[in-house]
Amino acid sequence: MKKLFALMIAVLLALALLVPAMAEAADAAADTAETVVEETEAAAEEAAEEVEEAAEEVEETAEAEAPAVSPVFKKLLEVPWYSWAVLAAMVVAGVILAMSAKRTQWNSRRIAMGAMCIAIAFVLSCIRLFRMPQGGSITPAAMLPLILFMVACGPLQGFVVGCAFGLLQLITDPYVIHPIQLLVDYPLAYGAMILGCLATLFPLKDQWKLPIAALLAGLGRYIMAVLSGAIFFAEYAGEQNAWIYSLTYNISYIGPDVLVCMLVACIPGMARLVNIIRKKA
């Protein structure tokens, strides 16, 4: 019994001596592991910095070797697509007008007729039967004098008169947020009414050609208004699609305005005005 008791005491003493040693060994192992982790992280950071420096050197070398781009060219690249589209349309229109200048006869009577149609259309446009909150109004057939001139004198002279009327509207009632929007909403919108000249190609009586011309002219103006609304006034659409909003908004006033023009164009004797304007001096 005494031997068993002595053996137990010896075992306890041995454990008491081994536990501190084992704790010290565990602490040393933990310190070693932390040191290894820190050294690994430091090496990784150094490697990452070296990679970044190498990438920067490559970029600098590429920029130095690349041809210099002028600031003017960079600004041209930043121009929106619709600006180029409108510019191209104006260039094409200018080329067509220049090529057909010899065939276009602007005599004193034709100029006087164009000025008179612009004046009558302007007076009628000042009489607004209804005005929309974001622009646009319904008038007592303000477009009809322009349509009469376009049908009588053709698309080239009609385009000039339509653009002149649009510039007059710009002077008296401007709403401009962008240079391209200015062109689309004013000179080009009324210049696009030359689509009404297509009515002369239909095999119909003259009394029916004028209402069709009013419809086609309104379509040309509507197309330009939709483009302007969807591109430059998209913020008014809110969560709705900008194109759907523009289609709906512009038809709400251009549609009734075109309908009034068509009804007035159906008045007997109205088609004779086309021949009076077309008559040469």
Q: What is the pLDDT of residues 91-148, one digit of tens each?
A: 665 665 555 555 667 888 999 999 999 999 999 999 999 988 878 899 999 999 999 9
Same domain (yes/no): 29, 127? no
Same domain (yes/no): 106, 244? yes
Number of structural domains, the chain? 2
Residue range 226-245: mean pLDDT, rounded: 90
* Strand (E) or helix (H) holding 131: strand 130-131
Same domain (yes/no): 128, 232? yes
Highest mean pLDDT among 95-99, 171-175, 252-256: 252-256
Same domain (yes/no): 48, 94? no
The pLDDT of residue 88 is 65
Same domain (yes/no): 178, 254? yes
Res. 66 pLDDT band, cuts 50 70 90: very low
**DSSP-derived 3-state class of residue 236:** helix
Same domain (yes/no): 143, 99? yes
Same domain (yes/no): 238, 128? yes
Same domain (yes/no): 59, 107? no
| Beta carbons within 10 angstroms of residue 205's beta carbon | 9
Same domain (yes/no): 28, 95? no
Partners of 138 in beta bridges = 130
Residues 187-226 pLDDT 10s: 999 999 999 999 999 988 888 999 999 999 999 999 999 9
The pLDDT of residue 33 is 56
* Average pLDDT over all residues of the chain: 80
- Domain containing 125: what range? 88-278
Instruction: Evaluate if residue 173 carries a pLDDT over 80.
Output: yes
Same domain (yes/no): 127, 211? yes
> How far is the C-alpha of 186 from the C-alpha of 193, rounded, in Å?
12
* Strand (E) or helix (H) holding 130: strand 130-131
The answer to whether the beta carbons of residues 192 and 149 sit under 8 Å apart is no
Q: Per DSSP, which regions of 58-158 are E strands?
A: 130-131, 137-138
The answer to whether the beta carbons of residues 271 and 207 sit under 8 Å apart is yes
Same domain (yes/no): 4, 127? no
In a domain, 72, yes or no: no
